[in-house]
Structure 1
Amino acid sequence: MSDGHEPLDELDDAVAAAAFRRLVRHLRHRHDAQNIELMGLAGFCRNCLADWIRDAGFGGDKGAARELIHGMPVEEWKATRQKEASPEQIAAMQRSIALNAPDTR
């Protein structure tokens, strides 16, 4: 917001946490929505969420954060859920990433 006031910052932490957990559970359920597709459309994916929880203070390493978000070790996720990315998906992801401004939100 132009005046520096961000109503989102007033959202109760318990409410925000509940919404975040619901988002993660939804993404676990919708494993058909590939990370590459999420990146191409929205500029973030499950791995981004794992990075963001680490940035927010999660004490685990990258692998532990990804396991928390994916609901299984990342190697298992890749073997059972991840599909090969098409050139079109990669191009869409690259275009989407280019739209991401530095994280000031």
Structure 2
Amino acid sequence: MIDDASKAGQRIGLIATFAPTLQTLPGEFPSSVRLKTAYADGALAALDRGDGEAHVQIVVDAALRLVDCTLLHSFNSASHERRRRSLRQPAREF
């Protein structure tokens, strides 16, 4: 995921639904990448209670805080599953 993202853009937004991800994952990106992070607070809890719609809305709200990024990745390590959604348009065009 990191290699793909690094090749696709130099201004990358990383959205996490599990807060500790934002302490560890940014250090794995190459120094040439300008990384901005956003925590989708409450998104994981929404999934836990079965509210997928709320989860998506919280992640979208987090993405909107990353308006100057050319590529966004959402990473959920708590579920032990990597889900990547790459948006090849500026975040402000959501």
- State which structure, 1 or 2, has the greater radius of gyration over its C-alpha atoms: 1
- Normalising by structure 2, we get a TM-score of 0.29
Q: Which has the higher strand share?
A: 2
